[in-house]
Amino acid sequence: MAKIIPFRAVRPPRSTAALTATRSYISYTDEERDEKLRNNPYSFMHIIHPPGTEDMSGKPKFKQVRSTFLEYISKGRLMKEDRAAFYIYEQSYDGCTFKGIIAGIAVSDYENGTIKKHEHTLTKRENMFKEYLETTKMNAEPVLLVYSRQKTVDDIIETYEKTRPEYEFTTTDMHDHKLWVVKDKEDIQILEKAFASLESVYIADGHHRCASSALLGTEKRNHVGGSDQKMATDYFSAYLISDHNMEIKPFYRGVKFKNNTSPNEFLEGLNREFDVAEKGNEPIEPQNPHTIGLYLEKTWYELRPKAGTFDKDDPVGVLDCHIISVNVFDKLLGITDEKTDPNIQFIPAVNGVSALMESVNNGTFDAGFVPPPVLVEQLKTVADKNMIMPPKSTWVEPKLLSGLIIYDIHEL
């Protein structure tokens, strides 16, 4: 069962929510970040990167983040919810609408395997994030978890969508955002019961944040000797979205040939592993498994892996990003570690296939690969089998805002 709880979020007033919330820090250019810090006193950017901390790192910077966070509360730029609530959050753009529940979810669900993962995490990053959480005492952005569709959850969301949202605004990337606050005790109980009926939920985005929250929660629980005392660190913030309402996009692969491999030699090698069809100038962006786009010397090719070149009964081996890793990068180019080899780069599909083409045309890469997106059911199957996907297998939408709904680790 998945244990979720309502919590008293720290959040901006309705009038300044659009000015406060930010995208991920790394999604902005230096110029955009500077502009926000210079011209928007409400921006959450001031909290996560306080002025004067440019040359700071680790705990000294984290302490300043906490100090600025408390300052924003004291000035009324952020406020604490008067009582525990769930939050229904909706994001819409380009004809797509995503909606789900923001809640606290139990650290114990991560430890006992109810929350399932499909990526490895790095101990160094886990410990760094744990120190960040322990010092700043906040989850500024929920992790993204996916669950099997529940009618009762859909019904609650639909009911609230007929009422006025607490927040309704559009950000400069042309994304529409809406949020409703769920404080009704009966509705809270319905949602708690619906998620308690689930055997599993799956990490879609935020493996390191889940792991670091679990580290902190376990440490704090051990510190009190496993007592029944209710602690905020027993939970972390999650955005729970159903498996019919999320979108997975691929990462493109740009590769530089090793060992003076020529384009003709490369195509000859591909023909041993794939059925290769030249398609001309029109970009190939496949949506179905086992159709892969290749851009080489300003020409597009369609690749279909030949029978016997992959294990169709292996949940990881059947993924097209894995097929590319094994049958192209390893066998043909000698690239055995995609995480560290400088001859390969990953480009999110949201950047557009034109970005991949330009990088091939200007010689940054010799070739570009466009795999189809991983299916939600494939992700769940890999996680159910306690297996790990190849690096950069999924780009998951939606991407959530920071500073909109903050889980205060200091108190529930």
Number of independent structural domains in the chain:
2
In a domain, 72, yes or no: yes
Task: Tell me which residue of 52, 172, 69, 165 sits closest to 410, measured CA to CA.
Answer: 69
pLDDT band at 6 (very low <50, low <70, confident <90, very high): very high
Cβ proximity of 212 and 126 under 8 Å: yes
With a CB cutoff of 8 Å and minimum separation 6, the contacts of 335 are 255, 258, 329, 341, 343, 344
Q: Are 56 and 122 within one domain?
A: yes
**Mean pLDDT throughout 190-206?**
97
Q: Rounded to an integer, what distance in angstroms lies between the CA atom of residue 320 and that of residue 238?
A: 29
Give CA angle at 178 (147, 98), nearest 5°: 35
Give me the pLDDT at residue 88, please.
98
* Domain coverage including residue 363: 251-372
Q: Are 21 and 111 within one domain?
A: yes
Q: If you write DSSP's letter for every residue of 222-244 in order, what string do you get?
A: HHTTT-S---GGGEEEEEEEETT
Q: Are 36 and 176 within one domain?
A: yes
pLDDT tens-digit readout, 149-160:
999 999 999 999
Q: Are 217 and 329 within one domain?
A: no
Query: What b/e sequence results for 165-198 when a residue is b if at least 16 CB atoms lie within 10 Å of its CB, and e otherwise?
Result: bbbebeeeeebebbbbbbeeeebbeebbebbeeb
Low-confidence winner among 79-93, 164-178, 215-229 (lowest mean pLDDT): 215-229
Give me the pLDDT at residue 227, please.
67
Q: ω before 372 within 30° of 0 (cis)?
A: no
pLDDT tens-digit readout, 50-99:
888 877 888 999 999 999 999 999 999 999 999 999 999 999 999 999 99
In a domain, 362, yes or no: yes
Q: Are 310 and 178 within one domain?
A: no
Q: What are phi and psi of 358, to 5 degrees?
A: -60, -40
Q: Rounded to an integer, what distance in angstroms lies between the CA atom of residue 367 and that of residue 298?
A: 9
Q: Are 137 and 216 within one domain?
A: yes
CB atoms within 10 A of CB 225: 7
Low-confidence winner among 4-8, 222-226, 377-381 (lowest mean pLDDT): 222-226
Q: Are 59 and 101 within one domain?
A: yes
In a domain, 73, yes or no: yes
Cα of 247 vs its chain's centroid, Å: 11
In a domain, 377, yes or no: no
Percent of the chain with pLDDT over 70: 99
With a CB cutoff of 8 Å and minimum separation 6, the contacts of 351 are none
In a domain, 176, yes or no: yes
Task: Tell me which residue of 7, 4, 6 sits closest to 411, measured CA to CA.
Answer: 7
Q: Rounded to an integer, what distance in angstroms lies between the CA atom of residue 188 and that of residue 58?
A: 38
In a domain, 294, yes or no: yes
Q: Are 97 and 183 within one domain?
A: yes
Q: Are 85 and 211 within one domain?
A: yes
In a domain, 236, yes or no: yes
Give me the pLDDT at residue 269, please.
94
Percent of the chain with pLDDT over 90: 85
Q: Are 129 and 269 within one domain?
A: no
**Mean pLDDT throughout 295-322?**
96
pLDDT tens-digit readout, 98-118:
999 999 999 999 999 999 999
Cβ proximity of 337 and 216 under 8 Å: no
The β-bridge partners of 278 are 301
Q: Are 348 and 228 within one domain?
A: no
Say which residue, 36 or 209, is predicted with more confidence: 209
Cα 4 to Cα 13, 151, 221, 347: the distances in Å are 25, 17, 18, 35
Q: Rounded to an integer, what distance in angstroms lies between the CA atom of residue 14 and that of residue 295?
A: 47
Give me the pLDDT at residue 266, please.
95
Q: Tell me the average pLDDT of the chain.
A: 94
pLDDT band at 264 (very low <50, low <70, confident <90, very high): very high
In a domain, 238, yes or no: yes
**Mean pLDDT throughout 196-208?**
96
pTM value?
0.93
Q: Are 46 and 151 within one domain?
A: yes
pLDDT tens-digit readout, 309-340:
999 999 999 999 999 999 999 999 999 888 88
